[in-house]
Amino acid sequence: MRRLRGPRRHGGAGRAEADRGRPSPARYPFGLDGRDHRPPVAARAGHSGLAAQQGFLSPEALIQNSTGSTKNEAFKLVAKVPWRAPIARAVTAGTLSVDAAESIRSGLGQIDAAVTAEKLSAALESLLAEVASLNADEVFKRARRLRDRLDEAGIAAREKQAHDDRFLKVYLLNNGNVRLNGLFAPEDGEFVLSTFDSITAPRRGGVRFVDMDKAAWAKKMQDDPRSTDQIAADALVQLLKIAGEADQGRVFGGRRPSVRVIVTEKSLKADAPVPTGPAAHGQIEGNPVPISQEAIDRLLCDTGTRGIQFDDAGQIINLGRDERLFTEAQRAAMGVRDGGCRWVDCDRSPAWSEAHHINEWLKDNG
Please tell me the predicted confidence (pLDDT) of residue 266. 63
Please tell me the predicted confidence (pLDDT) of residue 169. 95
pLDDT in tens, 146-196: 888 888 777 888 888 889 999 999 998 888 888 999 999 988 898 888 888
Bigger pLDDT: 252 or 105?
Answer: 105
Give the angle subtended at the CA of 215 by the CAs of 210 and 219, to the nearest 5°. Answer: 145
Of 22-26, 215-219, 234-238, 293-297, the range with the lowest mean pLDDT is 22-26
pLDDT > 90: what percent of the chain? 4
Please tell me the predicted confidence (pLDDT) of residue 20. 47
- Whether the pLDDT of residue 248 is over 60: the answer is no
pLDDT in tens, 290-346: 777 777 777 666 555 666 666 656 666 555 344 445 677 777 787 778 877 877 777
Please tell me the predicted confidence (pLDDT) of residue 191. 87
Domain ranges, ordered by start, for the chain: 50-150, 186-251, 266-273+280-352
> How far apart are the C-alpha atoms of 220 and 222, rounded to whole Å?
5
> How far apart are the C-alpha atoms of 128 and 130, rounded to whole Å?
6
Over residues 224-229, the mean pLDDT reads 86
pLDDT in tens, 346-356: 777 776 676 76
- Whether the pLDDT of residue 28 is over 50: the answer is no
- Strand stretches in the chain, DSSP E: 167-172, 178-183, 261-262, 281-284, 290-292
Please tell me the predicted confidence (pLDDT) of residue 352. 65
Question: 144 pLDDT band (50/70/90 cuts)?
Answer: confident
Mean pLDDT score of the chain? 70
Please tell me the predicted confidence (pLDDT) of residue 345. 73
- Whether the pLDDT of residue 5 is over 80: the answer is no
Please tell me the predicted confidence (pLDDT) of residue 184. 95
Please tell me the predicted confidence (pLDDT) of residue 196. 86
- Model pTM score: 0.45
Bigger pLDDT: 35 or 57?
Answer: 57
Please tell me the predicted confidence (pLDDT) of residue 40. 42
CB 79 within 8 A of CB 63: no
> How far apart are the C-alpha atoms of 55 and 44, rounded to whole Å?
12
Torsion of CA 86, 89, 95, 96, to 10 degrees: 70
Give the number of residues written for the chain. Answer: 366
Please tell me the predicted confidence (pLDDT) of residue 34. 43
Please tell me the predicted confidence (pLDDT) of residue 168. 94
Of 17-21, 109-113, 118-122, 326-330, the range with the lowest mean pLDDT is 17-21
